[in-house]
Amino acid sequence: MEQNGVTALGYIPLFPLIGSVLAFIIGRSKRDAAGWIATLASAMAFAVVVALVMAMPEEAEYYYRAFTWFSVGGFTLDFAFRFDHLTAVMCLVVTGIGSLIHLYSVAYMAEDEGRHRFFAYLNLFMFSMLLLVLGANLLVLFVGWEGVGLCSYLLIGFWFKNLSYAGAGRKAFVVNRIGDAGFLFGMFMLYRQFDTLDFAELAQAISVNASPELLPLYFVVALCLFVGATGKSAQIPLFVWLPDAMAGPTPVSALIHAATMVTAGVYMMARLNFLFDLAPQAQAIVAIVAVFTAMVAALTALTQNDIKKVLAYSTVSQLGFMFMAAGAGVYWVAVFHLVTHAFFKACLFLGAGSVIHGCHHEQDMRHMGGLWSKMPITAATYGISTLAIAGIYPLSGYFSKHAILAALEGGHNPALEGLLELLVPMASVTAFLTAFYMTRSFAMTFLGSYRGHAHPHESPLRMTAPLIVLAGLALVGGLWLGGTLPHYLAPVLGSPAEHGHESIIEGLMHSWIGIAGIGVGLLCYTSLSQIPATIYRVIGPLSTLSLNKFYFDELYAAVVVKPLEAIARVLFRVVDQGMIDGAVNGTAAVVDVSGEVARSTQTGQVRHYAFFMFVAALLMLFLFVFAGRV
């Protein structure tokens, strides 16, 4: 790798940074300009990425060292970027979809008076995400990692007047921080073992000493990094913040909670694939957790009435799928699903955004319905994306989801042998559920008669254009990428097992799960509308369970938050005030009391003093007389 490499790499994150600063400063006076500056900045970043991808020779990768961040006692760390195929894909997704969302949000946030702040944060987010993706070592990745967490905090809590939104922001940041702590442990162990955090050096060092006694270390490191990933990509233990994150404006959800930030975990596992390969048990755990997350999220999504909450849980579920692939050891499939998911989920979120925009900030699906006629473009794009996510043949969703299920069955990972009989059916059931709740949301919003009291209208072109582009990508993406992606990522993630090209009929055959899901969904929510009501009565407690998101929040509150608060209060009251301060003030009191005792000997009676003197003289005499001899 040439030393200082391509300075262009430096420009990619630079543009959004400058954009963010300019948006904030100029935006203070001219609110509208902020939107365009931000969009321009992300577009330029996208342009640079595309140029680099075009110019990059097949096997090469670019490396750019900005400056030595710090070198302390033999541990030097550069602020450096790497641009290989994996990064290229991620950058394309981030900057591409980012620019579309910027364009969309210019219109969406048109009348919000704090929008200059919004666009500054959005660009800052782009900057951090690019840092995360481009980072040449774990530390720069971690910088991006926390930067992204910060921006999500700022954006979720954007409408800070509402204390619950601010609380959601704080919750997101704290949960992410817990994940980051895990990530830090992983980094410490790596540093302690290999004295470096640079990916290239790590890969080289790990490949050299893959000796057996280091395996447990790799297992622990892999697990810690996965904990970090769960925090960021909302897997089982730490996913609670994602649904609450819907408190932020919809474009935020689209960009951060669909396309980019949540996928960071997957990217990290892909980037460190050489490490995870050496820890099969860790991968097995990843897979198991992923499947369960997918299942739980899907079940919860069934009963959600808020359109954004449904999409949030579907994201968690889809992430579960991605981690299934990663857990199975087939990383390019995970990335493939990541990309396709970015397309249709962003489109879904933006669609939901335009619906909410149309219905004047109405988010509850029960007050919508029958928007097909009023918002045709939104409905169409939303429909295409629903089909894609359900995994119907020609669309991208099918290819990536099918590849995941195949990978899972393929079983590259030895540790997964026993569990396959359990995981694969669960995965397919989840796929069915995904199709079902997506059609439910589609039906409740667009089909039937309008139940709300506002009068919805189609969103302007600037909002619908990105929808159309994304829907197009969802349509064609699967086909195009299915073929090219495995070879493109081969140098980084290893070459995939070849698999035959399917015909259309085989495609349709394989997507029977999706078709069945949509069918049942349509059936329930259009004609036989009373079926869902009866089902709910029958499985009564189950439905309330899923409605309240399996009480995870309450669980965490009871197990972690409340006790900690109690401990804190006790520590302060009892330990700090009581014991330590008590001891300090206690010694003062002791001195006071002893003073009082000493004072009592001064009786004022001359006789007493005479007697004391006499006794003292006696003692002296005694000492004098007997000291000599004793």
- Site residues (CB under 8 A) for another protein? 67-75, 139, 142-143, 146-147, 150, 153, 157, 160-161, 163, 166-167, 170, 173-174, 177-178, 180-181, 184-185, 187-189, 191-192, 564-565, 567-569, 571-572, 575-576, 580-581, 584, 599, 602-607, 610-611, 614-615, 618, 621-622, 625
How many CB atoms are closer than 10 A to CB 386?
Answer: 31
Nearer to another protein, 554 or 565 (CB): 565
Nearest approach, Cβ of 591 to another protein (angstroms)? 11
Which residues touch 526 (CB under 8 Å, ≥6 apart)?
443, 447, 448
- Whether residue 240 contacts residue 553, with contact meaning beta carbons closer than 8 Å, is answered with yes
| Phi/psi at 266 (5° precision) | -60, -45
Nearer to another protein, 425 or 563 (CB): 563
Nearest approach, Cβ of 162 to another protein (angstroms)? 8
- Whether residue 257 contacts residue 245, with contact meaning beta carbons closer than 8 Å, is answered with yes
Q: Over the Cα atoms of the chain, what is R_g?
A: 31
Nearest approach, Cβ of 412 to another protein (angstroms)? 32
Nearer to another protein, 25 or 531 (CB): 25
Nearest approach, Cβ of 54 to another protein (angstroms)? 31
* C-alpha separations of 97 from 89, 102, 281, 385 in Å: 12, 9, 35, 15
Distance, first Cα to last Cα, the chain: 91
Query: What DSSP line would sit under 212-274, residue for residue?
Result: GGGHHHHHHHHHHHHHHHHHHHT-STT-THHHHGGGS-HHHHHIIIIISGGGHHHHHHHHTHH
Nearest approach, Cβ of 43 to another protein (angstroms)? 24
Nearer to another protein, 127 or 267 (CB): 127
Nearer to another protein, 143 or 200 (CB): 143
- Whether residue 347 contacts residue 281, with contact meaning beta carbons closer than 8 Å, is answered with no
Nearest approach, Cβ of 599 to another protein (angstroms)? 7
Nearest approach, Cβ of 579 to another protein (angstroms)? 9
User: C-alpha angle 337/54/88, rounded to 5°?
Assistant: 35
Query: Distance between CA 271 and CA 277 in Å, rounded?
Result: 11
Nearer to another protein, 141 or 355 (CB): 141
Nearest approach, Cβ of 625 to another protein (angstroms)? 5
Amino acid at site 130: L
Length of the chain equals 630
Nearest approach, Cβ of 125 to another protein (angstroms)? 14
Nearer to another protein, 480 or 612 (CB): 612
Nearer to another protein, 383 or 582 (CB): 582
Nearer to another protein, 538 or 606 (CB): 606
Query: Distance between CA 487 and CA 336 in Å, rounded?
Result: 12
Burial 487-512 (b: 16+ CB within 10 A, else e): ebbeebbeebeeeeebeeeebbebbe
